[in-house]
Amino acid sequence: MINLKDYSQSITKAVPHLVETVIERGEGAYIWDQSGRRFLDFTSGIGVANTGHCHPRVVEAIRQQAGLMIHCQQNLAYHKPLLRLIDALREIIPAALDTFYFTNSGAEAVEGALKLARQATGRTNIIAFQRGFHGRTVGTMALTSSKIIYRNGYQPLMPGVFFAPYAYCFRCPKAEADPEKYGFDKDCTWALDELRFILRSQTSPNETAAILIEPILGEGGYVIPPARFLKGIREICDKYGILLIIDEIQSGFGRTGHFFAFEHFGIIPDILVMAKGLASGMPLSCVAAKHQLMENSPPGSHGGTYGGNIVACAAAEASIRVLLEEKLVENVARLGEKLLIRLKSLKERFPNIGDVRGLGLMAGVEFVGDDGHSPDQSKAKAVQKECLEKDLLLLTCGTEDNVIRWIPPLIINEQQLNEALEIFEHSLDKL
C-alpha cells in the first residue's frame, strides 16, 4: 500500500484534496481507495464523469482505439473518431452550430471562442459576468470573477474585459431592498438594465465583440437565472451585432435534464463552449459555431498539438451514444425533480439553508448564518465533512464557499439518490 508521507515533498499542495487518501478505482457512481473504502461520488470529478466512472462502452471505445492509434495531430489529417464525434454532436446541438474546433480543456476552448469572436467581429472587448468562472489560464483569468484566489497575484490581467451583474436573485440588492417588486418570479429587469448601462458607459457596442456567460453559474454558486435574463441578453446581442458565447463546460451533456442548459431558456448561442462531460474523463473540449464565423478565423491562428486527440474523440463519441441510447437525460430530468423536492423540504426544516435551486442533477444548497441571509462557509464545510465521514462525496462552491453542489453521475438510480439524501439529512441533523 502506498504511504502518502513518502511523497510529501513531491506532491503539489496548491489545491486541497477532499479525500486525503489514494484512490484506486471507480465504477458507476462509486470510487474506492487503496484500503477498500467505498465512496458514493456525487462530484463526478467536478462534472466530468456524466456517464459514471468507467462506463463499459466508453472503456471499450478507449481500448479499441488505443490498440489502433493513440495520437493523430488534427492539423495533419482527418481521423475516423473525430468524424464520428462530429456526427454525434450534430444530433444534439442546434443545426445552426455546424462547425467544430477541438482542443484539450475548458479554458483552452474559452480562449479559442474569445479569439474567434474578436476575429469574426473585428472588435476587441468582452463582457463577462460577476461570479462567473471560465478558467485559470492567463486569458481566462481575466474573464473569471467567482473567487479572488483565481486572480490574486496575477494582475494586471488581459484588458478589454468588463463585468456585469449576474441575475443572482437570492442575493440581488434590489430584491433585498424591495422584495415585492424585485425577485426571481417578478418582472425584474435590473441585471439587464445594468448590462445596458455598461454598453453606454464602459464599452460601446461597436467595440464589444462578445458577451460570455454561463447559463447556470458553476463555481460561482450553482445559480439559476430567470429565463428573461438570458433571453434579454440574446436580444441585446442581436440588436448590436455582439456575439453570444455560452459556456456549457459544467452544465452541458445532460446535466440539467436537457443536453445543454441553454435549451431551458429558449435561446441559441452564436458560439458554444463544451468540455467536462464531453468525453467522460478524457481531456477534450470543443467550440461550436456557425460556419461563417469560423471562416473569419485565419487558418493556423489557433491550435494545439493534442487537440482532437484520437483516443479522446473515440471516448467522446461513445459517451454521447451512452447518453442517447441509455436515456440518461431523461433519467436526469426524473431524478432531478425528486432531488429538488427533497432539498426544498429540508430547507423548511433547517433555517441555516437559505436557498435551494437547481435544474436536473445540478443543484445548489446555500448555507446562511443565523440572521437568515449572510453567507456561512463554516456550516457548508461542516456538512460536507460530516457527509465525507459517511462516505458521501460532495463539493462546495460559491464566492464565499457556502454552497454545497449536487453534481452526481447521470447514471445514478433512485436508491443511490435516496442514500445520498439520507446521509445529507443526517449530517444536517447532527450539526
Alpha-carbon span 185 to 189, nearest angstrom: 11
Beta bridge partners of 286: 102, 274
Whether the predicted pLDDT of 253 surpasses 90: yes
What is the grid cell recorded at 15? 489545491
User: In this predicted structure, what is the pLDDT of residue 13?
Assistant: 62
Q: What is the mean pLDDT of the chain?
A: 94
Alpha-carbon span 216 to 205, nearest angstrom: 25
Whether the predicted pLDDT of 1 surpasses 70: yes
Q: CA torsion 328→332→334→338, rounded to 10°?
A: 150
Residues 153-162 have pLDDT tens digits of: 999 999 999 9
User: In this predicted structure, what is the pLDDT of residue 15?
Assistant: 63
User: In this predicted structure, what is the pLDDT of residue 12?
Assistant: 67
User: What is the mean pLDDT of the segment spanning 256-274?
Assistant: 98
What is the grid cell recorded at 254? 445532460
Residues 192-206 have pLDDT tens digits of: 999 999 999 999 999
Contact 398, 221 (CB under 8 A): yes
Contact 361, 329 (CB under 8 A): no
User: In this predicted structure, what is the pLDDT of residue 198?
Assistant: 98
User: In this predicted structure, what is the pLDDT of residue 232?
Assistant: 98
Q: Residue 327 region, left (φ>0) first, then alpha (ψ -120 to 50), else beta? A: left
Residue 277 makes CB contacts below 8 A (sequence gap 6+) with 44, 47, 48, 49, 50, 51, 252, 253, 254, 255, 319
Query: How many CA atoms within 13 Å lie on the side-chain side of 47?
Result: 25
Beta bridge partners of 141: none
- Out of 63-77, 217-231, 354-368, least confident range: 63-77
User: What is the mean pLDDT of the segment spanning 373-400?
Assistant: 97
Going by pLDDT thresholds of 50, 70 and 90, the confidence category of residue 179 is confident
Alpha-carbon span 89 to 82, nearest angstrom: 10
Domains of the chain, first to last:
4-54+327-430 (3.90.1150.10), 57-325 (3.40.640.10)
Closest CA relative to residue 39, chosen from 416, 425, 379, 422: 416
Q: pTM for the full model?
A: 0.96
Distances (CA, A) of 174 to 45, 178, 357, 378: 36, 6, 19, 27
Provide Rg for the chain, Cα atoms: 21
